Amino acid sequence: MIYDSDLARSLVSPADLAECRAMIKAGSKTFYTSSKLLPQRIQDAARQLYAFCRVADDVVDESDDIEAAVESLRLRLDAIYALNPDPHPADRAFADLALTYSIPRSLPDALIEGFAWDASGRRCKTASDVYAYSVRVAGAVGAMMAIIMRSRSPEAIARACDLGVAMQLSNIARDVGADAKIGRLYLPEDWLREVGIEPDAFVHDPRPSPELTIVIERLLTEADRFYERSISGIAMLPKRCRPAIHASRLLYSAIGHQVRLNGYDSISQRAVVPKKRKLVLIAKAIQASLFASDIKPYPVLEEAAFIVDAVAAAPEPKRLPETLNERAEWVTNLFIRLEKTD
């Protein structure tokens, strides 16, 4: 797709953007909170992205026919990438993003595939399966966020995938019990068997145990490893985007910390990060963004290589101009947005 400013303006309306803002505010408090730290243009784009991801997830998750739901989403993507989106705010918003930022079609396709894995109850036999799933449902989103922030080098995209994987591992560790109650299991089955837990029996009757603690602790250790790798990627982002992504990193990693405080019991309770702790972490995110981090040459996660390759093969988008007024607005409104953070 070749960028055309008049066409981009015709794809999405102010009412569409308002709908996207409402969707993220209702659907993800953590994402909504951290997005407040972004410059306005990127904040709007992030909310457009979230809206389409939310709609796609709901289409698959709420369908009795997963194959038909996935096919319907692929047809919607066909229309989006033909710049003739369905008359839905999220579709029009994502068409605008795909055109403006040259988002490869394979990234939303990967996301939809991950949602299909979810809805079908597909199990993860190994850690590699967990990474492959996490790359699709979260790493692809991280890569699209990096693209929106004009950071699309292979190294930056690899680290964005790392952060997405880390966040998803945190979510998996938090939701072990809730997932089991609806017949889902995302912990690696071979890890469970190593400690003497039979996966089918566990899903039928999930209970906290010393053996389960070992598995959840191992998963969170892996999450921490990917959070550490992601710091190099954040250093590659534009300076004014770093506070928001550091906030995402710290807020999601705090979920794992809370799981640990709960004694790794993700069955009888759900880890919730207290509001005061969130505010402290946001302040730490701003502080972290003020200092340059070393960029370390971590390898690309094998399961994320197809994302990195797809972005590398995509054409560079036309760079949109940034006015002095936009820069001044961001500086002026940063702390106003923080004060309103809930």
Please report, in tens digits, the pLDDT of each residue of the chain (342 residues total). 444 444 444 576 677 777 777 776 665 666 666 667 788 888 888 888 988 888 888 888 888 888 899 999 999 999 999 999 988 888 988 998 999 999 999 999 999 999 889 888 899 999 999 999 999 999 999 999 999 999 999 999 999 999 999 999 999 999 999 999 999 999 999 999 999 999 999 999 999 999 999 999 999 999 999 999 999 999 999 998 999 899 999 999 999 999 999 999 999 999 999 989 999 998 999 898 888 777 888 999 999 999 999 999 998 886 654 443 444 343 334 443 444 444
5-316: CATH topology: Farnesyl Diphosphate Synthase (1.10.600)
| Residue 77, CA distances (Å) to 90, 91, 257 in order | 11, 8, 38
| Burial track 256-289 (b if 16+ CB lie within 10 A, e otherwise) | bbbbeebebbbbeebbebeeeebeebbeebbebb
Long-range contacts formed by 227-230: CB under 8 A, 24+ apart: 227/163, 227/166, 227/252, 227/253, 229/159, 229/162, 229/296, 229/298, 230/159, 230/160, 230/162, 230/163, 230/166
Residues 6+ apart with CB under 8 A from 99: 1, 3, 4, 7, 8, 11, 83
**Phi-psi group of 3: left, alpha or beta (phi > 0 → left; psi -120 to 50 → alpha; rest → beta):** beta
Could you write out the DSSP letters of every residue in 159-173?
A: HHHHHHHHHHHHHHH
pLDDT at position 264, please? 96
- Cα 101 → chain centroid: 18
pLDDT at position 21, please? 73
